[in-house]
Structures are given as structure tokens and as C-alpha cells.
Amino acid sequence: MAGLFPKWTNALPTIAAMAVMGGAVTTVGAVWYYFTPKYWEAGYMPEQPGNGFNHQLHAGKLGIDCRYCHTKIEQSPEANIPNVDTCMGCHAENRISLNFVKDERVQFIRDAYAEDASIEWRRIHKLPDYVRNFPHHVHIKAGVSCYSCHGQIMGMPEVFQSEPLSMGWCLECHRNPEKHLVPPDQVTKLTWVEQELDDRAHGRSGVDTDALLSSLRREPPQYCGACHH
Ligand code: HEC
Ligand code: HEC
Ligand code: HEC
Ligand code: HEC
Ligand code: HEC
């Protein structure tokens, strides 16, 4: 599996090749992607190792909070991917209290653990190198939900990129953050956020967005140096 596709780079031919190999989009689609830089990354969904990881099951159905696995998201710019130990907390063979211990679908986790190896998850969201260290923690603390930037992860059996992550997209929110801000303690409650933002768009929300706006440390920056070296 490893080496089937090169590690994610921003090379356009890669996505075009993938589109053809995956048969997911027609040539017309590939050409459309190629000439539409703003959106060419949206929809990106590489094949994951083993049986992958199902957010719809773990975060949605089982209701495990994002921060159980993405533990550093409130403290650091980078969102961490959990290591095998985190999975073994539930999927180790001796967790007899759980009824899925014999399941072959989680064998790849135990194999990795036994070999002291890590699971090579393929990265999906990636900004170009000329964009400075994107600060997750600042956004989370300000009340920008994962939902606004990653979509409805709680409904995704496999994560895909749902937003363009383009400069115009970043700035659209930086100019009008009140449309997107939610109470900071709700940022990982993605179904609540989806409902709230929909209510807001239809004038049905009871959330005081002015209060959220005035509690920001500072206005979201629009000067070039904030995001570029
Ligand atoms: C039980 C652990 C666990 C929980 C809970 C969890 N995740 Fe993840 N997450 C992972 C793993 C493992 C990966 C890497 C595999 C993948 O991309 O599917 C990942 C990947 C991701 C990615 C894609 C990263 C990339 O490569 O760009 C996003 C975005 C993400 N998670 C968001 C969330 C959000 C939002 C929540 C809460 C609603 C959440 N996760 C809950 C384990 C978890
Ligand atoms: C808090 C407990 C918990 C943690 C942590 C956890 N899981 Fe699970 N996982 C479950 C439960 C419960 C099921 C459902 C089993 C069933 O339905 O039989 C499951 C099922 C699975 C399955 C089989 C279903 C499918 O989607 O194919 C896979 C694969 C899996 N988990 C991978 C992982 C990985 C990888 C991690 C670490 C990133 C992880 N899990 C962390 C509880 C957990
Ligand atoms: C303001 C937009 C925004 C918000 C809010 C946001 N993210 Fe992200 N996320 C991004 C961007 C942009 C990247 C790619 C960063 C890069 O390439 O440096 C990313 C990358 C990631 C990754 C991949 C990290 C890696 O090293 O593979 C994970 C996991 C992730 N985000 C999880 C989350 C979770 C969980 C939340 C909510 C608690 C969240 N994000 C909130 C924009 C956001
Ligand atoms: C949905 C809304 C939203 C999106 C999308 C968004 N941001 Fe922000 N961003 C904010 C808000 C709100 C703040 C102000 C946070 C504060 O200071 O309290 C902010 C602040 C920042 C800061 C300043 C950090 C600091 O230390 O003061 C940087 C840098 C930044 N964003 C980069 C980005 C980049 C790069 C993107 C696109 C990849 C992006 N943002 C997308 C809402 C957003
Ligand atoms: C809020 C963060 C943010 C600010 C502020 C910002 N940029 Fe960007 N910029 C980005 C991101 C993210 C990309 C990557 C876009 C992509 O991958 O499609 C980008 C891409 C670019 C590119 C590459 C071409 C393109 O349009 O995609 C240039 C050139 C650029 N920015 C110049 C600037 C200049 C000049 C300013 C000041 C007027 C500025 N940027 C302000 C986030 C920002």
C-alpha cells in the first residue's frame, strides 16, 4: 500500500493521475480541477492503511470527543494525529469488556502495536509551504468550530477535504467572522454547530454573536505577513 501514491505534495499532475486511477471523476472533471485552482484540492480523499479510521462511527455514533484523539488542538498550532496507543486503549485484545475484541477489522492496529510501528495515515489537509504555521489553537479558542473548516466530520466514514482552504476562503471568514463564531465550549459539537449555523442563516438563532465578536483577542488579520513569511 505504501508508495502507491507519493506523499501528498501540491503537484497538480498527482491529483489528475489519481482522478484517472480512482475513476472517481471523468477526464472533464480532472480538467475542471486543473483549471480551477480555488477548488482543486476540495474532495481530496486518499486511501488509508489497514481498515482505515471511521470518524462517523467513533466521533459520530460513539460520541468520542475530537480532543480525546486530537489532544493538542487547544494548545498548539498543529493538530496531532493520535498514535497507536490511543487506539489500543479500546482495541487491545485484553479489553474483554468490549464485545469487538475478536474482530479482524482491528488486527492491523494490534500488528502495528506489536511491531512498535506507527500507522502511516495519509495526510488530507495541507497548506502550501509558503503559508506560515497555521494556528489551530487560536481558532479553537476564538470559537471557530472544526465544522467551519473541515465540514461534518461526524458524518464521514472517511475524511475528505470539504473546504477549498484557499486564501480567498480564509479571508472571507477573517472579514466576517461573526457568521462563523460559536461559543468556544461548543467547537467540537459538530452536529450542534451545523444546526446553529443553519438557524443563523435563516435568522432563527438565539446566540449573541456580538458578544462572541467582542470577546476575540483581536480582529482576524488581513495583512500579508500574518499568513506569509
Ligand atoms: C478515536 C480517535 C479520533 C477521534 C475521536 C477523532 N479523530 Fe480525527 N483522526 C483520527 C485519526 C486516526 C486520523 C487519521 C486518519 C484519517 O485521516 O482518517 C484522523 C484524521 C482527522 C482529520 C484529517 C487530517 C488530515 O490528514 O488532514 C480531521 C480533519 C479530523 N481527524 C478531525 C476530527 C474531528 C473534527 C473530530 C471530532 C468531531 C475527530 N477528528 C475525532 C482519530 C480521531
Ligand atoms: C473509546 C474507544 C475507542 C477508541 C479510542 C478507538 N476505537 Fe475503534 N472502535 C471502537 C468501538 C466501540 C468500535 C465498534 C466495534 C463494533 O461495532 O463491533 C470500533 C471499531 C473500529 C474499527 C472497525 C469498524 C470499522 O470502521 O471498520 C476499526 C478499524 C477501528 N475501530 C479503528 C480504530 C483506530 C485506528 C483507532 C485509533 C486511532 C480507534 N479505533 C480508537 C472504540 C474505540
Ligand atoms: C480555521 C480553520 C480550521 C479549524 C477551525 C480547524 N482546522 Fe484543522 N486544519 C485546518 C487547516 C488549514 C489544516 C492544514 C494545516 C497545514 O497544512 O498546516 C488543518 C489540518 C488538520 C489536521 C491534520 C494535521 C496533520 O498534521 O496531519 C487535523 C487532524 C485537524 N486539522 C483537526 C482539526 C480538529 C479536530 C478541529 C476542531 C477541534 C480543527 N481541525 C479545526 C483548518 C482548520
Ligand atoms: C471560519 C472562520 C475562519 C477561517 C475559515 C479562518 N480563520 Fe483565521 N482567524 C479567525 C478568527 C476569528 C481569528 C481571530 C482569533 C483571535 O485572535 O481571537 C483568526 C486569526 C488568525 C490568525 C492570527 C493568529 C494570531 O496569533 O493572532 C492567523 C495567522 C490566521 N487566522 C490564519 C488563517 C489561515 C491561514 C486561514 C485559512 C487557511 C484561516 N485563518 C481561516 C477565523 C477564521
Ligand atoms: C488569512 C491568511 C492569509 C492572508 C492574510 C494572506 N494570505 Fe496569501 N494565501 C493564504 C493561503 C492559505 C494561500 C494558499 C492558497 C491555496 O493553497 O490555494 C495563499 C496564497 C497566496 C499566493 C499564491 C497564489 C494564490 O492566490 O493562491 C499569493 C501570491 C499570496 N497568497 C499573496 C498574499 C498577499 C500579497 C497578501 C496580502 C495582501 C496575502 N497573501 C494575505 C493565506 C493568506
What one-character-per-residue DSSP string does 84-95 give? HHHHHHHHSTT-
- Please give the model's pTM, rounded to 2 decimal places: 0.90
Predicted local distance difference test score (pLDDT) of residue 27: 37
Predicted local distance difference test score (pLDDT) of residue 13: 34
User: What does the block give as the cell for 175?
Assistant: 472579514
- DSSP assignments along 24-52, one per residue: -S-HHHHHHHHT-TTTTTTT--PPPSTT-
What SS3 class is residue 224? helix
Q: Which ligand places an atom closest to the C-alpha of 10?
A: 5
The residue out of 96, 120, 144 marking a domain boundary is: 120
Q: State the DSSP code for 23.
A: T
114, 133: one domain: no
> pLDDT tens, position by position, for the chain (229 residues)?
333 333 333 333 333 333 333 333 333 333 333 333 333 467 788 888 888 999 999 999 999 999 999 999 999 999 999 999 999 988 887 765 555 556 788 889 999 999 999 999 999 999 999 999 999 999 999 999 999 999 999 999 999 999 999 999 999 999 999 999 999 999 999 999 999 999 999 999 999 999 999 999 999 999 999 999 8
67, 178: one domain: yes
**Does the residue 4 lie in any domain?**
no
Q: Distance, CA 174 to ligand 4 centroid (Å)?
A: 6
175, 211: one domain: yes
Ligand 4 in reach of 134 Cβ (< 6 A): yes
75, 89: one domain: no
Strand partners, 140: none
108, 170: one domain: no
Q: Distance, CA 136 to ligand 3 centroid (Å)?
A: 6
Q: Distance, CA 192 to ligand 1 centroid (Å)?
A: 18
111, 204: one domain: no
Question: Which of 214, 92, 201 lies closest to 142, judged by CA?
Answer: 214
110, 195: one domain: no
Query: How many structural domains is the chain composed of?
Result: 3
Q: Distance, CA 167 to ligand 5 centroid (Å)?
A: 5
Ligand 5 in reach of 161 Cβ (< 6 A): no
Ligand 5 in reach of 131 Cβ (< 6 A): yes
**Does the residue 140 lie in any domain?**
yes
137, 188: one domain: yes
**Does the residue 60 lie in any domain?**
yes
132, 94: one domain: no
User: What does the block give as the cell for 153?
Assistant: 466530520
Which of 48, 51, 55, 57 is the best mutation target for the ligand 2 pocket, counting ligand atoms within 8 Å of the beta carbon and taking the most? 57
Contact status, residue 105 vs residue 51, Cβ threshold 8 Å: yes
**Does the residue 1 lie in any domain?**
no
Question: Which of 88, 106, 81 lies closest to 159, judged by CA?
Answer: 81
Contact status, residue 55 vs residue 188, Cβ threshold 8 Å: no
| Domain range enclosing 97 | 82-120
Ligand 3 in reach of 66 Cβ (< 6 A): yes
Q: Distance, CA 12 to ligand 2 centroid (Å)?
A: 34
List, in sequence order, the alpha helices (H) in the chain. 12-22, 27-34, 55, 66-69, 84-91, 107-114, 136-142, 146-150, 167-175, 190-201, 209-214, 224-227
109, 216: one domain: no
C-alpha–C-alpha distance, residues 83 and 17, integer Å: 30
Question: Which of 21, 5, 23, 16 lies closest to 41, judged by CA?
Answer: 16
